[in-house]
Structure 1
Amino acid sequence: MTSHEATPPDLSQPPFGGTPDPAAAARITSRDVAQAAGVSQAAVSLVVGGKWRGRVSPAKAEAVRTAARELGYRPNLAARSLRMGRTRTALLVVPALTTEFFARVYTGAARAAADHGFGVVLYPSPEGLGPARDPFDSAAAALDGVIASSMAAEALTALRDAGLPLVMLDSDPGDDRAGATVNLDIADGARQLAAHLTALGHRRITHLAADVDSWTFALRARAVANALADVPGTLLRRQPAALAVDAGLHAAHAALTAPGPRPTALLCDDDIIAAGACKAVRRLGLRIPEDISVTGFDDLALAVAVEPELTTVRLPAEEFGEAGMRALMAVLDGDRPAPPTLPVELIARGSTAPPPAHAHNSARPGG
């Protein structure tokens, strides 16, 4: 993931693939491509600029790409950028570089950016709370726009002050300071987990809630509480945990050894917290899922690295990044796109099962 940091767009390479001789490519013009593809020069310009949808048919767009590739056409993106007053560079701000989720968001965003001849600079802001410093002395001079993923609104003050178009991912859609928002259906994911556990028969559930002051985690907490409030006889407790394996371990240990009836399920805000919870369960001499069910969120690689594998919610991270970049391109074109919400999916695995028949007698491990 870190190998992709601060990578500017390579304007020396042809956007349509191939490795043409630079001198030969310089002699190929958009008129040559237009003649070869049987379209107008205007159509070539639209396809090369990534603005052909709705203006040029898919068949003609493919003909332009094929002709450009075969002729070795290399448009002068630098000159076009100067004419348009653009650097053809977007900034992707993420809370951390240590979670694969954000690497996948970057992959999707970079793929969509390449379709428009843009490059993406990846920039971390501590834990998404900030403040995120202006990564350049003046971001407005070096960037066309910003995509911020899973960030607290206050963390982006410096970037907002730069006056750059801003797209927020995994953020409050009511925040009118962003040019657009793109979200995953996080609330539905939390509801799916709650429904999964209650359908198995669990009624004593502890929510290991991420101890992060952000919109997305507040949304999860509300969704879990609302879903379980509709199930008679359910006891929901909340135990905060930082986004780390050790923090998940300590939070789960506290939840499982607290006075009173022991929970039969731990609903975790993140796969990383869930991995720590699994360690705590085993250290207390309990079994997963026979004694305690554990769920995660995100469907990281970690979810299938633990044993048993985690029941979790799969988030389409790459599609999320793509949607964010497409929204930024729309904002740069003067549009304000409707905020899309991408669906998520419950993945049931071996870490969940019905509660033990004697659960009502279990006050604590060994009790």
Structure 2
Amino acid sequence: MTRPTSRDVARAAGVSQATVSLVLGDKWTGRVSERTADLVRAAAQDLGYRPNLAARSLRTGSTRTALLVVPALTNEFFARVYTGAARVSAAHDFGVVLYPSPDGTGPARDPFPSARAALDGVIASSMAADALEGIKGADLPLVMIDSDPAAEGAAAHVNLAIADGTRTAAHHLLGLGHRRFLHLASAIDSWTFEVRARTLAATLAAHGGTTLRRTTAPLTVAAGLTAAEAALADPADRPTAIVCDDDILAAGACKAARRLGLRVPDDLSVTGFDDLSLATAVEPELTTVRLPAEQVGEDGMNALLAVLDGRTWTGPELPVELVVRGSTAPAP
């Protein structure tokens, strides 16, 4: 089947090819009526027309391609972020190239001979900030996800209400009577995990009569198990609640409890963060802070499109939600 051309779209809409180019290139405002623009878009959709992006790139100097920098796609959260970004980019005839760090959170090799020639902009997670070293100097618009809004160098930030989520989880456990806490924290040096640690400590300190210990682990179930098992080993200094930076670490904590003969949640309550599929795969199911990962990707792409269009991105923090399940109960 022959691929439809801009001439076919023009004929179907009853306009010139120049008008088709203006409308599909998002340059029609003030030059073409809204009714005509709607006719052109409808004709293009009916015909299944897609612009020749390579030819348009040569004409405009724009590749209509964004780079999404993430720690690793083995983490379900970032796979969902990509889904959201790809959904918005497809609606604007943009492509999204994934740039995962092969070691999870460390630097990755620059995938392009010239990032400036291959890309229009970058969307990056603060957890993969080191990977940006490979494309520095390209002078590309940068949108940071879940990162310090006061940090310089980014044209826009897309953030989650991480502190709110941490406070909500802490107040949930305090309301259940827990006073001895363990923070099973991510070993990754990242702004988002610093916020969680800071907020948890401040919330518990403000309540009074609580104790908080902290131990760190890489983001794997095995590492979470090892760290939690060591922290729970002494019955005289055992917490009644573990607040985890991630559902993966929480799954490890639940395994550690079982190995030590502790029952979750009767002897020990455990909370996670993210609401991954893993949260409902373990037994009991995890009480966790749900993060709208796909919305993060959508807002990241929308922010980049705004920056490329010369507009300021002013999106608010994305709300998060505590999902209470079976891993939390009144303190023993």
TM-score by length of 1: 0.83
Q: Can you give the 5+ residue segments of structure 2 that lack an aligned partner in the other structure?
A: none
1:119-134 matched pairs, under 5 angstroms: 119-126=95-102, 129-134=105-110
**What are the Cα deviations for residues 151-195 of structure 1, in whole angstroms up to 9, with x where unaligned?**
354442232222111111011111220111111111111111101
1:205-354 matched pairs, under 5 angstroms: 205-258=181-234, 260-354=236-330
Letter in 2 for 1:35: G
Alignment correspondent of 2:85: 109
Segment of structure 1 superposing worse, 173-182 or 294-303? 173-182
The answer to whether the Cα contact below 8 Å between 2:127 and 2:188 also exists between their aligned partners in 1 is: no
1:31-180 matched pairs, under 5 angstroms: 31-32=10-11, 34-35=13-14, 45=21, 48-49=24-25, 63-126=39-102, 129-151=105-127, 153-180=129-156
User: Superposition RMSD on alpha carbons, in Å?
Assistant: 2.6
Residues 50, 324 of structure 1: CA spacing in aligned structure 2 closer, same or farther, 3 A cutoff?
farther
TM-score by length of 2: 0.91
Aligned residue pair count: 332
Residues 95, 27 of structure 1: CA spacing in aligned structure 2 closer, same or farther, 3 A cutoff?
closer
The answer to whether the Cα contact below 8 Å between 2:108 and 2:134 also exists between their aligned partners in 1 is: yes
Q: Can you give the 5+ residue segments of structure 1 that lack an aligned partner in the other structure?
A: 1-19, 357-367
The answer to whether the Cα contact below 8 Å between 1:241 and 1:251 also exists between their aligned partners in 2 is: yes
Alignment correspondent of 1:195: 171
Percent of aligned pairs with the same amino acid = 67
Letter in 1 for 2:123: I
The Cα of 1:21 is off from its aligned counterpart by 2.8
1:26 aligns with 2:2: no
The answer to whether the Cα contact below 8 Å between 2:107 and 2:128 also exists between their aligned partners in 1 is: no
Letter in 1 for 2:213: R
The Cα of 1:204 is off from its aligned counterpart by 0.5
Distance 1:293 1:52 in 2: 58
Distance 1:27 1:131 in 2: 42
Distance 1:354 1:138 in 2: 57
**What are the Cα deviations for residues 215-258 of structure 1, in whole angstroms up to 9, with x where unaligned?**
11111101111111111211111111111111111111122123
Residues 204, 89 of structure 1: CA spacing in aligned structure 2 closer, same or farther, 3 A cutoff?
same
Distance 1:319 1:230 in 2: 32
